Amino acid sequence: MVSSFLSPATITKEHDLASLHLSRDQSLPVILSTEATNAADEGYAEGVVTNTRFGSFPHSTIIGTPWGSQIRASIVDTGSRGRGGPKKRKAEALENDDGAGTKNAITASSGFVHVLPPTPENWTTSLPHRTQVVYTPDYSYILHRIRARPGSRLIEAGSGSGSFTHAAARAVFDGYPQQAAPEADDEGGEGSKSTGQVFSFEYHAERHQKVKGEMAEHGLDTVVSAFHRDVYKDGFLVGNERQTSPRANAVFLDLPAPWEALPHLTRHTLDGTPSSLDPESAVHICTFSPCIEQVQKTVSELRRHDWLEIEMVEMQHKRMDIRREYTSLQYESLRGTNPFAVDVDEAVSKLREVEQRARDFHAGILSAKAAKALNSQQHNKLANLPFNGGKLIHRTEPDLKTHTSYLVFALLPRAWTEEDEAVAQAKWSKHV
C-alpha cells in the first residue's frame, strides 16, 4: 500500500485519509467514503457527510477533486427520514428523489473548506491526543539535529500519540522495501532492513495498539515497527528472541526518565548482547524533557556512557504578525481607492526606484534624482501607492502551540576497532 503520507496521488479517492482544513489552526481528519458506515450517516444518499461549523460536506462532493481544492459546503436535505433540522431543509435545495421514498438534496452553501492530503504537520494538529505530543516546530528541529534522513534507522520511545512517529517515518522513508516490513508486536520485529526504519517503543498497551493500528491504516507500517515494551527494563533489541540489533543511528527519547533508557544505548554491552546502535555510523540522540532536573540527570548519564557534544536547546517558537500601519493622513488619502488595484508597470517602476535609492544610500550617495524622489514623497505623492505608504510593524502572537521542553542533543562517535583500522590502512595503501 502506498501511503498518502509519503506520496499522495493528485486526486482524492474513496477511503483516502484527508485533512479538511477549516482554519489556520484547525483541521479535521476524515476517511473519505460514499458508503454510510454508521447509523448517523444513513439518512444521506451521498454516504458520509462531515458537519463542521462552516457547513456540511458530503464526501461525494470531495471524492474525485484534486488535493488542495476548495470544497463548498452543501445544504443537505434528508427529507422524511431526515436528520439535520430545518436549517438543512432550505427551500432552494435541489431535490433528488432516491427512489426509496427518501428525498435527498444537495445544494451549495457559502461555507468552504480545503481538502488537503495527510501530512505529519496536519496530522499533529488534528490527531486524537492520548498524551502530550511533540509539535511541528520541535520535531522539525529535532529531526534535523539528529540527522534523520532517507535510510536512517531511528529509535523512538515512547510512541505516545504517534505525532513524532509520523514525522520520523516521512524523514527516514527511502522507498518501499521489496518484502513486507517486519511484523512488530510484543516480541516481534526484525532489525535489519535495507530501507529507512523507525523503531517505536511504548509500554502503555492501549497506546501501543493505537499507534500500531494507525501505522497500518496510514500505510506507514512498511517504515515503522511498533513495539510494546518497557524500554527502561528491556532496552531496544528486536526480533523474536530480542537479540537483533535495530542498528540505530538516530535516537529520540520522549520519556519521563530518559536517563534510565541510556544504559541500553551503548556501543558495548555488559551481558554480551548486541548493541542496539549501528557500529558503522555515528549516532545522534535527542531527549525531550520539560524540567531542568530531568535534563541534569540525562546529561550526567550521557557523559557516563561516552556521549559527546552534549548540548541543551529550548525552542521558542513564535509567529510574527507583520502588517503595514498608516498614519491618519495616509489613510485619508487612500480612502476610496482599492489598495490592491495597483498599476503593475507603475508598481514595478516604483520598486526599481526604491531599489536604486537603497543602492545609492548604501553607497553613501544620495543622487539628485533620489533626493527629488524623497522630496516628492514628502508631498504625499507616494501615499497614492499603498505599498510605499505606511510603516511596517510586527507583533508576536501570544499563543504558542508547542509543548515547550528542553531538548538535549548528543553524539556518540562510530566505533573504531583494530580491525577497522587494519581495513582502512589496507584501503589507503592501495591508493598510494
Give the residues lining the site for ligand SAM (CB under 6 A): 131-134, 157-158, 160-164, 201-204, 207, 229-232, 254-256
Minimum CB distance to ligand SAM smaller for 199 or for 307: 199
161, amino acid identity: S
Say if residue 125 is exposed, middle or buried (CB neighbours under 10 Å; 0-12, 13-18, 19+). Answer: buried
As measured in angstroms, the least distance from the Cβ of 403 to ligand SAM is 8
As measured in angstroms, the least distance from the Cβ of 234 to ligand SAM is 8
322-326 long-range contacts (CB < 8 A, ≥24 apart) are: 322/392, 322/393, 322/394, 323/392, 323/393, 323/394, 324/386, 324/389, 324/390, 324/391, 324/392, 324/393, 325/390, 325/391, 325/392, 325/393, 326/389, 326/390, 326/391
Minimum CB distance to ligand SAM smaller for 204 or for 297: 204
As measured in angstroms, the least distance from the Cβ of 169 to ligand SAM is 12
Minimum CB distance to ligand SAM smaller for 12 or for 225: 225
Minimum CB distance to ligand SAM smaller for 133 or for 373: 133
Minimum CB distance to ligand SAM smaller for 62 or for 250: 250
Distance between the two ends of the chain, CA-based, in angstroms?
50
The position carrying cell 443537505 is 76
Minimum CB distance to ligand SAM smaller for 166 or for 357: 166
91, amino acid identity: A
Q: Tell me the three-class secondary structure of 301-324, residue by residue.
A: HHHHCCCEEEEEEECCCCCEEEEE
Minimum CB distance to ligand SAM smaller for 88 or for 166: 166
Residue 126: how many CB atoms within 10 A of its CB?
A: 17
- In angstroms, the CA 211 to CA 162 distance is 6
As measured in angstroms, the least distance from the Cβ of 266 to ligand SAM is 17
- In angstroms, the CA 74 to CA 65 distance is 15
As measured in angstroms, the least distance from the Cβ of 244 to ligand SAM is 19
As measured in angstroms, the least distance from the Cβ of 309 to ligand SAM is 23
As measured in angstroms, the least distance from the Cβ of 201 to ligand SAM is 5
